[in-house]
Structure 1
Amino acid sequence: MEIIRYAELKAIPWRNGGGVTRELARHPRTPPAQASRQTAAPDDAWDWRVSIAEVSKAGAFSTFAGMDRVLTVVDGELLLLSVDGAEHPLEKYRPFRFSGDAESAGALPTGDIRDLNVITRNGSFKGYTSIIELSKKRAHPVFAGQFGILLQGQATVSPGAAGGVLAGAGSAGGPTGLPATDIPETERVELNRYDAVVGADAATPEVLGRGFLAVVSIDPEAETGAD
């Protein structure tokens, strides 16, 4: 069972000084020599990336040519996002999809915000973000190709039964939760705010608690070609 601890991630400043970004995961992973760089310049050496940004100043967002973006405000009240001149008021916990090719900028009418970013390469992967309310009675599974990110509240994660329960799983409409199993307290690992659980289909991690969880799904897109 893999947990990405938010407190251990490096904060990389934006080039315009408007905020910082912490990267939870990307594919393919950046070689260590690149990961140690202090710049926040965007690159195209990956096919998908999941990150959390702290936005403290209005201004332009980076463009990601050939990419698809899903942005979700996870802390703060409101982000006014301008995409190719059209303004979109983004409230907390409401995912918004837009093109990475677009000219985009953000304004902060109610103060600083944090946002969860899921960026995927068109034609290779498709990203989805869902916000679910956790329960102390029904554990929520995190399957392979998914990340479960604790946004608010208190929660623990534990490995489920080998092989997990896959029926109905997937970004298009999976189960709302599994009955909480009688797992010893010693096998439950506490999550802190913005920690991410990496999904798996064997011993599928199950999150239990009170609060809100972002479930990010990264689905490969089917290749198409001539017969």
Structure 2
Amino acid sequence: MTDPTPVPGPVLLRAGDLPVTRSGDRPVRRIAAGGPPGGGWTVSLLDLERPGVLPATAGAERVLTVVDGELLVLDVDGREQGLERHRPFRLPADAPVGAALPTGPVRALEVLAARGTARAHVVVLELSRKRPHPVFADQLAVLLSGRAVLTAGGTTEDVGVHDTVRGAEPESPELTGRGFLAVVSLDPPAPD
């Protein structure tokens, strides 16, 4: 079985330091990737500035979450699916998907995971100042709005919007603050 956990690296990934590439005419900021070559998973921020098509990724599942903007409307196999801010939506990535922007540009968190490598889950939750939220080794946590403080290895650090915290074990980093957080979990695939 392939280990779906994120590759080792810094605990805090600053949004401003993420490399920007292009997928067609769209800027893409790759947050993290893992798994075997040609069959792993990726977590990225997509800037959708005009209507178009999200390309297919054969043999993969896609989870999209609007993180900035109001509404993204997808054409999935001839059916419209509206995605409101902070509401994750899972769909197969095997075929291209039409993307309409009825209320203007959006930024979306995209998780692509090859079937048989990892099962991706995205949950958006509200942070608390009093109750720390741990980020485990199979997770990435992206601050969607507000302000947060990361505590890891006995030190604290401010976390900005779209910064990502990479989980760790045995001492999981913890986040406190006010705002919303997208927690991406990359679990082993379900047995057949």
TM value normalised by structure 2:
0.90
Identical positions, percent: 42
Task: State whether structure 2 residue 112 is matched by structure 1 residue 119.
Answer: yes
| 8 Å Cα contact 2:55-2:95 kept in structure 1 | no
Q: Which one of the candidate residues 148, 169, 172 is aligned to 1:201?
A: 169
Shift of 1:158: 0.5
Tell me the equivalent position of 2:29.
22
| 8 Å Cα contact 2:39-2:117 kept in structure 1 | no
Distance in 1 separating the partners of 2:39 and 2:173: 26
Shift of 1:188: 1.0
Q: Alignment partner of 1:7: what SS?
A: helix
Shift of 1:159: 2.1
Q: Which one of the candidate residues 61, 72, 84 is aligned to 1:79?
A: 72
How many residue pairs align between the two structures? 183
Shift of 1:14: 2.4
Tell me the equivalent position of 1:107.
100
Q: Which one of the candidate residues 216, 219, 226 is aligned to 2:184?
A: 216
Shift of 1:103: 2.7
Distance in 1 separating the partners of 2:79 and 2:50: 19
Shift of 1:82: 0.7
Task: State whether structure 2 residue 42 is matched by structure 1 residue 49.
Answer: yes
Which consecutive unaligned segments of at least 5 residues does structure 2 have?
1-9
Shift of 1:223: 4.6
Shift of 1:126: 0.3
Q: Which one of the candidate residues 43, 64, 67 is aligned to 2:60?
A: 67
Greater strand fraction, Structure 1 or Structure 2: 2
Tell me the equivalent position of 1:192.
160
Moved more, 146-155 or 6-15: 6-15
Shift of 1:46: 4.1
Distance in 1 separating the partners of 2:134 and 2:99: 34
Distance in 2 separating the partners of 1:125 and 1:148: 17
Distance in 2 separating the partners of 1:119 and 1:135: 29
Higher-Rg structure is 1
Distance in 2 separating the partners of 1:24 and 1:200: 16
**1:131-186 deviations in Å (ceiling 9; x for gaps):** 000010001010010001101000011127xxxxxxxxxxxxxxxxxxxxxx7xxx
Which residue identity is paired with 1:191?
A: V
Shift of 1:105: 1.1
| 8 Å Cα contact 2:142-2:183 kept in structure 1 | yes
Distance in 1 separating the partners of 2:190 and 2:85: 32
Which residue identity is paired with 1:76?
A: G
Tell me the equivalent position of 1:7.
16
Which consecutive unaligned segments of at least 5 residues does structure 1 have?
30-43, 161-182
Distance in 2 separating the partners of 1:147 and 1:85: 32
Distance in 2 separating the partners of 1:101 and 1:87: 17
Shift >6 Å, 4+ stretches? none
